[in-house]
Amino acid sequence: MTDDGRSRSVPSGRLSRLSRFGRMGASVAGGMLSEGARRLAAGERPKVGDLLLTPANAARVAEQLSHLRGAAMKLGQMISMDAGDVLPPELTAILARLRDNAHHMPPQQLAQVLAAEWGADWRRRFRHFQAHPIAAASIGQVHRAELPDGRTVAIKVQYPGVADSIDADVDNVTTLLRVSGLLPRELDLAPLLAEAKRQLHEEADYAREAAMLTRYRALVGDDPAYLVPGLVPEFSTARVLAMDYVAGEPIEALEGRGADERNRAAHALVRLVLRELFGWGVMQTDPNFANYRWQADSGRLVLLDFGAAREVKPETQDGYRRLLAAGLGGDREQVRSAAVAAGFLGDAAVERHRATVDRMLDVILAELNKPGPFDFGDRAFVQVIREEAMVMAQDRATWHVPPVDTLFVQRKISGTALLCARLKASVDVRAELTSYLPA
């Protein structure tokens, strides 16, 4: 195996990872002092939050999270996708780097991991094993390999130490966000953080993901719109996941294609989310674009990475049914009540900002009930909602954390809408919804 210059050894021990967080904090503090001195010299009186959120400090944090990988990088990815409309644009742009490929393990570290999982003579089991990964992300990296019988497989190898570091990484990243002021102290995040840790532990359990991969393959069945790779169990362990290699191109590559192809892909994305939520009762809740590939020749959406797949609670399904049924009926009062019942809105926010809430709902209802396919590429209404939401956001006493199950489901729904917007696609969402809602 040879190194290509982009590999960096993953800190696997508790002390080495803690040391990385310490260096990150010291580096950010140094950046704050430097930026503060510069602004004071210019006659400004900067706030601490302004000094923390400089592009230089954000770059330092993004670089360290990329090096740590694991839960630290995963949380950074979640923040960059879920809060892109709220965070300062400089921070959003830099955190977006975490959605790209991470540095991968150097060959020596990769060989050690595979020897621990497969035995010292693991190379003899392959006709060819491509040392350079075809993808590297937060928890593992993926390699292409050829078996002696000619089959091509994809091998996902987990970074050493990431499973054992999840709890500490989540706590450390949360502390950084608290200090930065991005997370208000008034919010009780304990249930959310506990659930985040639980899900990250599940994502690091490749035996569980193998079971979910098999389950999704059965759920999709012979539907010609989707393709789920088959599991290769003889090479799969708790830290290595092997599956059939499926060719395809990045879903974003469709941006420059014709409307028919873009709309077909978006329709498959929307239909998948609705089937997960209302039909199957199980949802892959990570909307990272890299979890999809597109086969132009067959017109099929390839589904990858099932570590974040989870059961959807019946009460969450019912909450969405009531909310969507009220929305399609155009009844603002029912929508508001359903939003509170489902946990999207807190009672305090509705009580203190009733007019603002109603203006936001009116915009959403107008968009939802326009005749014809929904144009995801027309995002003008998003800015209107964002401006109204910022008024409410300034009143921290009314900040509210929805139920954890709803948060994960909504993350998938929002991520799907974001991808459809990226494709500038149009989908008849109302037609797809009607089969799942009460008549």
pLDDT tens column, 391-433: 887 787 787 778 888 988 988 998 899 899 999 999 999 999 9
For 247: left if phi > 0, alpha if psi spans -120 to 50, otherwise beta; the answer is beta
Q: Which two tokens stand for residue 423?
A: 């494709």
Amino acid code (one letter) for 309: A
pLDDT of res. 272: 98
| Average pLDDT of the residues in 162-172 | 79
On the question of pLDDT at 284 being above 90, the answer is yes
Q: What is the DSSP string of 292-343?
A: EEEETTTTEEEE---TTEEEPPHHHHHHHHHHHHHHHHT-HHHHHHHHHHHT
Q: Dump pLDDT digits (tens) for 5-47.
A: 455 554 444 555 445 444 544 444 444 334 443 444 444 443 4
With 0.85 as the threshold, say if the pTM is over it.
Answer: no
DSSP helix/strand/coil, 298: coil
| Cα end-to-end distance, the chain, whole Å | 61
pLDDT of res. 148: 97
Where exactly are the structural domains of the chain? 14-100+165-183, 106-158+205-246, 247-439
| Rg for the chain, CA atoms, rounded | 23
* Residues identified as active-site: 286
**Rounded Cα gap, residues 58 and 27, in angstroms:** 11
pLDDT of res. 339: 93
Of 230, 229, 243, 237, the closest CA to residue 208 belongs to 237
**Rounded Cα gap, residues 57 and 355, in angstroms:** 38
| Average pLDDT of the residues in 106-131 | 95
Q: What pLDDT band is residue 385 in, cutting at 50, 70 and 90?
A: confident
Q: Dump pLDDT digits (tens) for 188-240.
A: 667 777 877 888 889 899 999 999 999 999 999 999 999 999 999 999 999 99
Q: Dump pLDDT digits (tens) for 231-250.
A: 999 999 999 999 999 999 99
Mean residue pLDDT of the chain comes to: 80
pLDDT of res. 29: 43
Classified by CATH at the fold level, domain 106-158+205-246 comes out as Phosphorylase Kinase; domain 1 (3.30.200)
**Rounded Cα gap, residues 31 and 46, in angstroms:** 14
